[in-house]
Chains A and B, each alone.
Chain A
Amino acid sequence: MTDDLAAVAALHDPVRRALYDYVAAQGRAVGRNEAAQEAGISRTLAAFHLDKLAEAGLLEVDFMRLTEARPGPGGGRPAKVYRRAAADRKVTLPHRDYEQLAALLADAVHDLAADDRAVAAAAAAGQRLYEPGGWLAALRARGYEPYADGGRVRLRNCPFRLVAQAQPLLVCAMNLALCQGIAGGDANAELDPRPNECCVSFSKNNSD
């Protein structure tokens, strides 16, 4: 889709790319000051790039109070904030559509009540990806966006989102098996879904 191509092209600028990565990694709304500070650029320049990202549909804009209201004019006024947009952006040249195929196969597995076979295949695939001590890097490389939350590791992104929405029981069971395989004995994967995040979280089995 041409829109997707334009959105992805908006990330060509390295400053913009860094701002996008930062906002995406926070999993919450980020203000202009914070983004500017993080990127080491002026607030005006950060605002310019953040608005370009919003125009391209990569970030969503909202207005909220970020600090306690200060006395005086303008104090406590809602600030413009940015969040990663939920929509998928995909550019494949030439065009490929593995998603549609995956959705059809997921429907077939569901109709055959062959979930156990699919879960076993996912577990085996996860085990092949296991490298001692490398599970977090492996999850990161596969787009799960792991982050620490108290004593647990959570995954901000579901790489299988569209198919998971069509067949959540099947895809989440497969994903749990895949994640446990990737983590091996280094961490214990558990089904622990949250809205807009992945269905799996981990407890570490030892310090690494």
Chain B
Amino acid sequence: MHLAQLNVGRLIAPIDAPELAEFVALLEPINALADGAPGFVWRLRESESDPALTYRHDFGDDLLINMSVWRGRQDLWDYVYRTRHLAVLQRRREWFQRTVEIHSVMWWIPDGHLPSAAEGMARLALLAEHGPGADAFTFRDFHGPPA
């Protein structure tokens, strides 16, 4: 089994606004860091050629969606919190609205499965509605792969 994760954030301005220029400039190096990280399997991309493009979807213009697949918890944790990605994450309030909405979810998928954004958003809704469980969970309330 592989670990899928989705996180969303509401941008403070349109993605091409000057307030987000620094953030957009960081997309390429940070995505490259993920692609080269141990245990990285796949991530949702808008474009194969332009690494700075964010994923386009029908869930609202201000919503930025990240989704990726990893070998397991430790690999994802080490990328998120134990690389230079952490410093970018620390600056999240410069670019994203403060929100009380649940913004991050994980779930297990069979090897080779590539989740859709709709699938990820459904898992997020599941987490928001029922709290953490085997089908939708967080680092804090982690659930191992089904036996």
Contacts and interface: CB of A to CB of B under 8 A. Distances in A.
B84 A192 contact: yes
Contact of A195 (B78, B87, B90, B140): B78
Nearest to B89: A169
B98 interface: yes
A191 B140 contact: no
- Interface of B, secondary structure class, is helix
A146 to B, nearest CB: 18
B83 interface: yes
Given A191-B87, A193-B86, A172 B81 contact: yes
Interface residues of A, number: 12
Residue of B78, B90, B98, B140 contacting most chain A CB atoms (<10 Å): B90
A166 interface: yes
A195 B80 CA distance: 11
Nearest to A107: B140
B86 A194 contact: no
B83 to A, nearest CB: 7
Interface string B75-100: 00010011110110110000000100
Nearest to B140: A166
Nearest to B74: A195
Given A166-B140, A168-B81, A193-B81, A113 B86 contact: no
B90 A173 contact: yes
A169 B82 contact: no
B33 to A, nearest CB: 12
B26 to A, nearest CB: 14
A19 interface: no
Interface in A183-200: 191-195, 199
A124 B87 CA distance: 21
A113 to B, nearest CB: 6
Contacts of A192: 84, 87
Contacts of B86: 168-169, 172, 191, 193, 199
A133 B104 CA distance: 43
Given A113-B98, A166-B140, A193 B90 contact: no
Nearest to A173: B90
B126 to A, nearest CB: 22
Residue of A113, A193, A199 contacting most chain B CB atoms (<10 Å): A193
A169 to B, nearest CB: 6
A194 B82 contact: yes
A108 B55 CA distance: 33
6 contacts: A166-B140, A191-B86, A192-B84, A193-B81, A193-B82, A195-B78
Which 7 pairs between the two chains have the least Cβ-Cβ distance?
A: A191-B87, A168-B81, A193-B82, A195-B82, A195-B78, A193-B86, A173-B90
